Structure 1
Amino acid sequence: MIYNHFSIILPLISALILGGCASLGGEKAQQAQQPEANAHKVAETPTRPFTGDTLYDLLLAEFAGKRNRADVALGNYLKQAHETRDPQVVERATFIARYLGAHQATLDASMLWSEIEPANPVPRELAAIELIRFGKLDDAMEQIDLLIASDGRMNFEFLLQATRSANRETRQQILAKLQDYSKTIDDDKLWFAIGSLEAMDGNHKLAIKDFDRALNTTPNYSGAILARAQSLIALNRLDEAMSYLSKQTEKFPENKRLGIVYARYLMQQGQLEAAQQQFFNLSQNFPNDGDLVLSLALLSWENKRQDEAKDYFRQLLEMGHRVDESNIYLARIAVSEKQLDEAGKYFQQVRIGPHYAVAQIQLALLWQQTGDLQKAFDTLDQAADSMPKERDQFILAKSEILANDQQLEEAIEELDRGLSSSPDNTNMLYARAMMKEQQEDFEGMEADLRQVLELQPDNSAALNALGYTFANRNRRLSEAWELIERAYTLNPEDPAIIDSMGWIKYRMGETQVALDYLRKAYEAFEDQEIAAHLGEVLWVSGEREEAAIIWRNALEKNPNSQVLKDVIERFNPKSL
């Protein structure tokens, strides 16, 4: 958010008025904007007062940034950069432009900056990046040549930012130039840049050799270590990559970035226990890092170590880090342990902000679970008053609670009220359609789903729901097939849609194809309705023993399932 980027400067306005641009931004602000900005010492510019017009433009720019008008801030800074040629004004204009992704403005300001401070490597690096983006490769290389000729230290890794979006021909030209430099320069970042460019073009064996050259110079170079591991993975040498990362993290336990990436690789491989141990090791080295504690808490939760998870989430509360998320997880753990009062207390601790709506909805569902519907409704109403922009979410939750309590009329009325002020809310339209289906108001259901599809033509859930309704009623089968097929094309892994594909094929008389889809759906998700469908098609196909087994197993898991009881009653009532 732009607010934080610009708010650094405002406490320094009084100093700026008294001292001119030498005070602008402060040393810490400059370091935060660009890590390399202070890598090269340049001659200090004498402090001088600004004219009234200049001061007005700069103050206007700062206040514009504070009010999220970055365009005004950038325009004023660029104007004053050219008028004053003050190095710090030019520098700030450059970094504002770069922050906003204004490439032409970044190039303009960085070229001016390098003209004013020719010995400073930062503006030349920025200019080179932008020149590459604009396809001016010769001009970009000229900037690098000037850096090297003036004994400037080129940040070759920084150069890669522009090449990632360049075409292959441009990358090849840059690679050739960097390889020429490597004949006379032995620099870890140069070798890393060469290896990265080779990896981008799929030459991973060459890339590994160049990453090793970078590591020979700087053994703890985390970028090169990780890039080497990625190239090993690209060569299908996964075990070797994981072994390499394991050794490197043991060798450099103080390298937090390396340790975190290794832990994430372990998670991707499903090695959650090993990942948890890795995060634990990191947390011992960095005890004040709340994000590491959060990772440990979440992995403990995933690994079903609830006592450990609770300890870590409570530790986060003590640290004052990720407090709202920690309260939500502690509440969920309490719910799983049937400690509903304790869960309610944690949900109530979540403050107004990005997690508030989720916490209040879950709190309302908790009150429903205890049988206190009025308390659930009061919770949602109060939440809607606190966060009016999220009112639609709370209306949906209220209607769901009513529907779960078999108060369908009241649930639909709640959605009617919500849709009166938000007529294009597709979630409410879909929810109302499903409730109308339960009331066998198929015309009303179709109208709502048609409206959803008018607003979102590729809404696979709405396509599937409408198509399945037609198929289930054995009506308009051709249209049902078109709707379900579209849904399947959009979302072929959804078990509900796969089930619909099987069901419409069954209705169309293609029994064997139907069985293929229904088996696939049931393998993905052992749902009672899918079991009912699969059993029915098996039964009419003559596979009655298998059908009976599927129905019996499903009924054991869902003893109150009406859909299963109905299908068994029709085909095999003696088994009930």
Structure 2
Amino acid sequence: MSTKANELKGKGLADADKTSIEPDVMFMLLTAEIAGQRGQYDVALEGYMEAAKRVNDPRFAERAAMIAMYAKNAAKTDEAVSLWLRDDPANLSARKIAALSALKNEDKPAAVEHLSALLKIDPAGFEKTVMELTAAVQKQDKSAFVYDVLDELALKSPGHADVYFVQALLAAQMKNEKLADNKLQQALKIQPEWDKALILQAQLSAYSGDLPRARALLKNAAVKYPENEKIKKLYAQVLIKSEDYEAAGEVYRSLIAVNPADNDSQFAYGLVQLQLDRDEKAEEVFIKLVDKPEWRSQASFYLGKIEEKRGNKQKALAWFDKVTEAPLGLEASLSAISLLAKDRQFDEAASRLELARTRYPEQKQRMVLMQADLYNQQKQYQQAFDLLTAALAEQGDDKELLYTHALMAERIGKFDILESDLGKILAKNPDNPEALNALGYSLLDKTQRYSEAEKYLKHALELQPNEAVIMDSYGWLQFKLGNSQKALDYLQRAYDKKQEHEIAAHLIEVLWALNRKDEARKLFHKAIKIAPDDEYLLDVQHRVLKGEL
């Protein structure tokens, strides 16, 4: 062998026990390398391709494939990869490139061949590989084709739970939950203790709205695999989604008992205690987490919320001011501003809002909405309306801006604009319960278009049957229609769920109309004691109760 050949061998370009490089092939390789360095990729590609054909060394074919891919020459890429696999059939990279090309071209036999090889070469990485390949052809929407290829693969290589699991993932991507569930059941028949499949099965049930099934699956799995934290944590999340906070708390307690250093579960347990109005227990958890640097901001935020709920304004502000990091830095700033506004410290609230604008310039819309709320609380309705009008002109018909603009339009007597704004929201999203409720309530309160109001409110009630403000609106409509007993039923349920002053005022008026005056007086005294300046309560006192208190 020549001296030059030996030098190249030392660099790893040739292996004497595999092949002997002819001088003319060596010349091709040198020419190809120099061409590549000069950016002459077509020349480099031809040189490496020719070398790969003449020498059984996969490195030359690999180099040719890389250059062809860089040059976006699909035909040459396929040719080079074919040569690469001839010399190194177990090479993962070559198989993945070949599989990708087969999927793009919808060449089912080739796709089955290459995926079958990938399954044998790297069974542990099969799921990740197939999902990466699917993502790579996502623009061409090949999910259904990949699914069909896996069907063929399952026939060719039965007994692989991974294949059915990946099919389940693809079916879920295609929004076919039933098919996904069927494939998961096939995977679990082969590998019944596969926690990943059990978790996905429960997740799909939860996403499709079948929370009882998700709960049952996870409960059984948690009993069967008591050491599996992932299953227990997902079970707790489904319980929270089902609003079974007591049971969720028990799951988190069991996790913490096993691993007191599980701060994720500690934090979640604290949030659950807040939902159960056990503020002292939640406080104990968050106080401990404040000492953990990675949890300091989140814990401080919720400690601020607890103090706000207790009416300890200064303590709440102190906690909110400790929250400087994402994801709750902005929320803490806005919570502090709201708290100051509620205490009618509008100058301090405005000063903090200006600071928040500087700190969070990308949150322009949130700042506009907060400024509008400050104007609203000061009864500066025209300023709020003008601010929102300008924001809509700049940012377009944003849903939140439109909704708030509509409310301010109602405040300044521009009912036509209110109706137009809410109509724009409903044109894009006819199932928006907030807009349906606002429009329905405004129609019954400002006009006598009760049939239209009923249409909107019934739809809102169908979407959110347990929402207090919607029950209040529908109950008030029934009162306007003369159905006082039916009105009382809805209003009482609304007030039991949410003791807002406007709901209280409606309920007082209906009780009075039903000659249940003692109950009406008792409720009025309770509500006015909490909010002596509330406009709704003062209105019902002046208009209905008059001097009979």
The within-5 A match list for 1:97-496 is: 116=84, 118-121=89-92, 124=95, 128=99, 136-147=107-118, 153=123, 155=125, 157-158=127-128, 161=131, 174-175=150-151, 177-182=153-158, 189=162, 201=178, 208=185, 211-215=188-192, 221-226=194-199, 241-250=217-226, 253=227, 255-280=228-253, 282=255, 291-351=264-324, 354-408=327-381, 424=397, 427-428=400-401, 430-435=403-408, 437-438=410-411, 441-443=412-414, 445-447=415-417, 449-451=419-421, 453-454=423-424, 457-458=427-428, 460=432, 461-462=434-435, 464-476=437-449, 494-496=467-469
Shift of 1:378: 0.9
Unaligned segments of structure 1, at least 5 residues: 1-19, 23-48, 59-77, 97-103
Moved more, 388-397 or 530-539: 530-539
Task: Measure, in 1, the Cα distance between the counterparts of 2:202 and 2:356.
Answer: 48
CA gap 1:170/1:367 in 2 versus in 1, 3 angstroms: closer
Q: Which amino acid aligns with 1:141?
A: V
SS in 2 for 1:364: helix
Task: Measure, in 2, the Cα distance between the counterparts of 1:89 and 1:57.
Answer: 13
SS in 2 for 1:119: coil
Task: Measure, in 1, the Cα distance between the counterparts of 2:80 and 2:243.
Answer: 51
Partner of 2:55: none
Q: Which amino acid aligns with 2:188?
A: F
Task: Measure, in 1, the Cα distance between the counterparts of 2:320 and 2:79.
Answer: 54
Q: Which amino acid aligns with 1:551?
A: A
SS in 2 for 1:442: coil
Q: Which amino acid aligns with 1:472?
A: D
Task: Measure, in 2, the Cα distance between the counterparts of 1:365 and 1:463.
Answer: 26
Shift of 1:417: 6.9
Task: Measure, in 1, the Cα distance between the counterparts of 2:427 and 2:213.
Answer: 43
Shift of 1:297: 3.5
Q: Which amino acid aligns with 1:139?
A: A
Task: Measure, in 2, the Cα distance between the counterparts of 1:327 and 1:142.
Answer: 56
Task: Measure, in 1, the Cα distance between the counterparts of 2:112 and 2:334.
Answer: 57
1:551 and 2:517 are equivalent in the alignment: no
CA contact (8 A) 1:106 1:127 kept: no
CA gap 1:142/1:494 in 2 versus in 1, 3 angstroms: same
Looking at CA atoms only, which structure, 1 or 2, has the larger radius of gyration? Answer: 2
CA gap 1:469/1:382 in 2 versus in 1, 3 angstroms: same
CA gap 1:52/1:515 in 2 versus in 1, 3 angstroms: farther
Task: Measure, in 2, the Cα distance between the counterparts of 1:510 and 1:266.
Answer: 38
CA gap 1:384/1:240 in 2 versus in 1, 3 angstroms: closer
CA contact (8 A) 2:341 2:377 kept: no
Task: Measure, in 2, the Cα distance between the counterparts of 1:169 and 1:388.
Answer: 45
Count of paired positions: 485
CA contact (8 A) 2:249 2:272 kept: yes
CA gap 1:166/1:413 in 2 versus in 1, 3 angstroms: closer
The within-5 A match list for 1:464-543 is: 464-476=437-449, 494-501=467-474, 503-504=476-477, 507=480, 525=498, 527-530=500-503, 532-533=505-506
Q: Which amino acid aligns with 2:84?
A: I
CA gap 1:515/1:115 in 2 versus in 1, 3 angstroms: farther
Task: Measure, in 2, the Cα distance between the counterparts of 1:564 and 1:291.
Answer: 44
Partner of 2:56: none
SS in 1 for 2:294: coil
Task: Measure, in 1, the Cα distance between the counterparts of 2:505 and 2:298.
Answer: 39
Q: Which amino acid aligns with 1:397?
A: M
Task: Measure, in 2, the Cα distance between the counterparts of 1:572 and 1:121.
Answer: 82
Q: TM-score, normalised by structure 1?
A: 0.62
Task: Measure, in 1, the Cα distance between the counterparts of 2:177 and 2:382.
Answer: 59
Shift of 1:244: 2.9
Task: Measure, in 1, the Cα distance between the counterparts of 2:286 and 2:79.
Answer: 50
CA contact (8 A) 1:300 1:308 kept: yes
Task: Measure, in 2, the Cα distance between the counterparts of 1:523 and 1:248.
Answer: 40
CA gap 1:292/1:508 in 2 versus in 1, 3 angstroms: closer
Task: Measure, in 2, the Cα distance between the counterparts of 1:200 and 1:527.
Answer: 41
Partner of 1:7: none
Shift of 1:181: 2.2
Task: Measure, in 1, the Cα distance between the counterparts of 2:526 and 2:218.
Answer: 41
CA gap 1:517/1:428 in 2 versus in 1, 3 angstroms: same
Q: Which amino acid aligns with 1:393?
A: R
Shift of 1:135: 5.4
Q: TM-score, normalised by structure 2?
A: 0.65
Q: Which amino acid aligns with 2:321?
A: Q
1:386-429: CA deviation from partner (whole Å, max 9, x where unpaired): 33332442343234234334455665566577667657566455
Task: Measure, in 2, the Cα distance between the counterparts of 1:393 and 1:197.
Answer: 37
Q: Which amino acid aligns with 1:558?
A: A
CA contact (8 A) 1:297 1:308 kept: yes
Shift of 1:451: 4.3
CA gap 1:108/1:292 in 2 versus in 1, 3 angstroms: farther
Q: Which amino acid aligns with 2:427?
A: P
Moved more, 270-279 or 342-351: 270-279
Q: Work out the percentage of aligned pairs sharing the same amino acid.
A: 22
Shift of 1:571: 5.8
CA contact (8 A) 2:154 2:160 kept: no
Unaligned segments of structure 2, at least 5 residues: 1-10, 14-31, 51-58
CA gap 1:503/1:180 in 2 versus in 1, 3 angstroms: same
Shift of 1:356: 3.3
SS in 2 for 1:388: coil
Task: Measure, in 2, the Cα distance between the counterparts of 1:111 and 1:262.
Answer: 50
CA gap 1:222/1:386 in 2 versus in 1, 3 angstroms: same
Shift of 1:178: 1.6
Q: Which amino acid aligns with 1:211?
A: L
